[in-house]
Every structure is written in structure tokens, then in C-alpha cells.
Amino acid sequence: MDLFMSFEGRIARKGFWLGLLGIMAISLLAGGTVLSVLPDGIVRIFAQIILSAGVVYIWSAVVVKRLHDRGKPALPWAVIFIAPGILMQAISIFQIGYSPVDFAGTQVLMPGLATTIAMWAATAVALWMVVELGFLKGTPGANAYGPNPLGKAAPAPAA
């Protein structure tokens, strides 16, 4: 639970990937069960906002601890990595920039140009975040945010 609730300390890449998988599972279960039984309207929107806020909180804890392991301060990096996802959630929940289009006799909501550009930009930031936090090594040894989560000491400097 510390992985999802605390903003202190560091986590290794393995913790990041476990956190990402956990958040994906939580999102799919919550979205697939809770939201599927709620009727369209204000109650569903309110439930989406509550679920999104919870996911943002636990994801922020994972991201901040991984940023700490990389030796980076939480601000501004967490804002850069998390804000596009929050924007996309708001666009999705409130259907901002979508318009109905007739598709094979059925009305379908399609994103407009600005929304599509925002989605692509958010996707690019998300890919950058996954590379930065999921693939690149943390700082060796202890840093300003705590001891190495792998328990290894920093290598001795060459003479």
C-alpha cells in the first residue's frame, strides 16, 4: 500500500511497473464495473470524477517516488508527466471538443482537431514518461530522497 499512498522515498523500476499494472487493473475494474451499471447523467459524471481523482492520487505517488529514484524533484516533473493525463480525463468525462457524427446510421461522438492534437500530445508525454521512469536507471547509492531501493551502494570512484 505504501507504493500507492506515500510520496516519500524512492522506488526502483520494478516498483514503477508493478504500480502501473496495479493502477491499470484498478482502472479497468472500477471503470468496467462501477461505471457500467450507472446511467448516463450527473451521477455517472460524478463517479467518473471521483474515480479519476483516486487514480490520479495513487499514480502521482508512484511517479513521485520514481522521480526521486532518478534524482529529480517532484515539481515540475510530476506536473509535466501527470497534467496531460488529467487534461485527457477532463476531456473524456465532459466530452470537450467532441461532436456527433453519423457513422453507418448511428450517431458517434468524434473528437475534433484540437482534441485530437491534445490526445496525441498527451500520448507523446506518456511515452516519454514511460521511457524516463520505466526504463532508465535510478541514481546509484543514496540520494537526497533516500537510500537506493535496490540496497546497493554507489560504486567507488576510480582512482
Question: How many angstroms separate the CA atoms of 75 and 27, rounded?
Answer: 25
Whole-number pLDDT of residue 88: 95
* pTM, entire model: 0.89
Per-residue burial over 139-154, b if 16 or more Cβ lie within 10 Å, else e, is beeebebeebbeeeee
- pLDDT digits over 59-87, tens only? 999 999 999 999 999 999 999 999 999 99
Domains of the chain by residue range: 2-134
- pLDDT digits over 103-154, tens only? 899 999 999 999 999 999 999 999 999 999 999 999 999 999 999 999 876 5
- pLDDT digits over 9-35, tens only? 999 999 999 999 999 999 999 888 888
